[in-house]
Amino acid sequence: MNISELSENQLSKRLNDDGLILQAGPFVTRLNSSIPCLVKGIHGLYGNYPLVDDDLFVDFHVRVNPPAGIRRWFRPQARFRFDNYKPFTPLPMDQAVPIFEWGLNWCISNYAHQYLIVHSAVVERNGVSIIFPAPPGSGKSTLCAALVSKGWRLLSDEMALIDRADQQLVPVPRPVSLKNQSIDLIRDYAPDMYLGSSTKGTTKGTIANMAVPQSSIQRQLEKVKPCFIVFPKYTAGAEPVLQQMSAPLAGIKLIENCFNYHVLGEEGFNMITGLVDSCECLEFSYSQLDDALQIFNELSEQ
């Protein structure tokens, strides 16, 4: 049974009572919330996820609720809690979906040190994986959403998890976060994909999330070998250019995008160097999603 088979009222009751258990890859989260827009967001964005048994070990106990006091009613807010710890300033209540997604990213990047964690999108097709490490504004999420909408498997929009035990990529498929102009771009490019409602006025501008395809969720425990590391850059009007990058430069740029390099120390350095030595490292500039799709489809068929 999937979450979408619950009515919104049934889902709201679960979230208000014992909480809803969500599994994304190796991570299990118990979410409690009384905020209606988050109930609606979870119903749409996580509808393809299976309902998980209550006896499963939970990694993250999370609550997204209004803070105590007047802000329950006057300019109402949403507060993210992790095991009763409050890592963020409360946000306006209509930003409950973004604060949940950002909060869960924070939980993983701060506590999942059994992995090397790189700020990156990760996709796979025909057993060929591509890591797209990039800072905000590079277009990685838009590129990721476009590829996933055309049949690529989503491992993550936000982070590459490399298992310290076997150097494999670990999927953690969750909704793809799109910002500002990318929202309408993907709505037009992939009309069959479900996009949640847009949230305006966040620190990142207008935010909307694209739901994960059922096929990616069904394979969310299936690891894959790293194959390509591609540093994308959207440039308006640019012709598509895919070119080699040296392994040392790629390693430096990976370190710049790594969440827990400082935690892993020497092991983190060795993992980065091993990753760039075993993968083909590339730079990619583009302006048209169809050009990108053609190029990466060809890579996956070599």
User: What single letter denotes the amino acid at residue 13?
Assistant: K
Calculate the alpha carbon distances from 104 to 69, 80, 234, 244, 299 in Å. 25, 9, 27, 34, 32
pLDDT in tens, 246-258: 999 999 999 999 9
Q: What element of type H or E holds 141?
A: helix 140-149
| Average model confidence (pLDDT) across the chain | 94
Report the pLDDT value the prediction gives residue 278, as an integer from 0 to 100: 96
Q: Flag whether pLDDT at 165 surpasses 90.
A: yes
pLDDT score of 266: 96
Where does the pLDDT of residue 134 fall: very low under 50, low under 70, confident under 90, or very high at 90 and above?
confident
Rg (CA), the chain: 19
Mean pLDDT of the region 130-154: 92
Name the percent of the chain lying above pLDDT 90. Answer: 89
Tens digits of residue pLDDT in 64-105 = 999 877 666 678 899 999 998 999 999 999 999 999 999 999
Is residue 171's pLDDT more than 90? yes
pLDDT at 125 (0 to 100): 97
DSSP E strand stretches across 11-158: 20-24, 27-33, 60-65, 77-82, 91-92, 115-125, 128-133, 153-156
The string of pLDDT tens digits covering residues 180-219 is 999 999 999 999 999 999 999 999 999 999 999 999 999 9
* Residue-level pLDDT at 72: 65
Cβ neighbours, 10 Å, residue 164: 14
How does pLDDT run across 41-61, given as a tens digit for each residue? 999 999 999 998 777 899 999
The predicted structure's pLDDT at residue 53? 76
pLDDT at residue number 54: 76
Place of tokens 């009515």: 7
Kindly state the percentage of the chain with pLDDT values over 70.
99
